[in-house]
């Protein structure tokens, strides 16, 4: 007999496809989908059974033990790691070849290290090698896609680019439209920024000063000419 013992929530939280279903539809829907996928994996494989264990001190609206799928047992306990280790040792002691699915090295991998007939495989490897591609149902895929769009929008720090119509609307709402149109009118030149205006003003001032000095020199020269006559 071959037995797969699965740390349920460890698998859910390590697999993006399952975690997206949990986020979009809730934890109970995610558990049902995981159990459906496991049942599909077991079906047609003679001599294979699976036990999935969830952490839960007092599960709500669910049976504490059992499953509607043949060959699949579901358990809810306060300490899932402890039960996963106990069941794995028990099945191995009965002569089963046991595959333990968990990425928890301290709580599961360590205690089962060296146990005969027992193989510990990470949640990621188990999903990738045996269950990937089995997620079904349009609602799961649709919610997953929608969730990806919402995450992308939430992470995008830059606002979307406005259309010309939206820009015109908000310019008018804030009273900017008339000023913009006047500044862009061909009848009047565009306004200069402060730096350019300051430079022009300074240039005009320097020209005026030079002209005044020139006029003074001319007057002094004329006075000297008159004295010399």
C-beta separation of 69 from 35 below 8 A: yes
Residue 76 confidence (pLDDT): 92
C-beta separation of 97 from 1 below 8 A: yes
| For the ranges 92-106, 141-155, 167-181, 188-202, the one whose mean pLDDT is highest | 92-106
Residue 161 confidence (pLDDT): 42
pLDDT digits (tens, 9 = 90+) for 179-188: 444 445 455 4
pLDDT digits (tens, 9 = 90+) for 68-79: 789 999 999 999
Half-sphere exposure of 190 (CA within 13 A, CB side): 6
Largest CA distance in the chain: 139
Of 57-66, 93-102, 208-217, where does mean pLDDT reach its minimum?
57-66
Question: Which CATH code fits 2-155?
Answer: 3.40.50
Banded model confidence at residue 155, pLDDT cuts 50, 70, 90: very low
Residue 162 confidence (pLDDT): 41
C-beta separation of 183 from 190 below 8 A: yes
CA pair distance 153, 147, nearest whole angstrom: 10
């Amino acid at each position: 007999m071959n037995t797969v013992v699965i740390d349920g929530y460890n698998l859910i939280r390590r697999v993006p496809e399952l975690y997206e279903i949990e986020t979009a539809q809730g934890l109970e829907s995610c558990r049902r989908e995981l159990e459906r996928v496991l049942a599909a994996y077991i079906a047609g494989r003679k001599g294979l059974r699976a036990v999935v264990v969830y952490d839960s001190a007092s599960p709500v609206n669910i049976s504490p033990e059992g499953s509607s799928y043949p060959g699949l047992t579901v358990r809810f306990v306060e300490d899932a790691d402890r039960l996963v280790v106990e069941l794995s040792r028990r099945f191995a002691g009965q002569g089963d070849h046991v595959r333990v699915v968990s990425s928890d090295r301290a709580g599961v991998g360590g205690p089962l290290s060296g146990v005969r007939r027992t193989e510990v495989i990470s949640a990621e490897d188990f999903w990738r090698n045996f269950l990937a591609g089995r997620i079904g149902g349009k609602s799961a895929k649709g919610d997953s896609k929608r969730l990806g769009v919402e995450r992308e929008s939430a992470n995008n720090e830059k606002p979307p680019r406005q259309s010309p119509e939206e820009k015109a609307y908000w310019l008018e709402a804030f009273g900017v439209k008339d000023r913009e149109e006047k500044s862009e009118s061909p009848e009047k030149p565009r306004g200069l920024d402060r730096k350019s205006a300051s430079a022009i003003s300074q240039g005009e001032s320097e020209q005026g000063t030079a002209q005044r000095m020139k006029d003074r020199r001319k007057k002094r020269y004329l006075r000297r000419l008159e004295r010399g006559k």
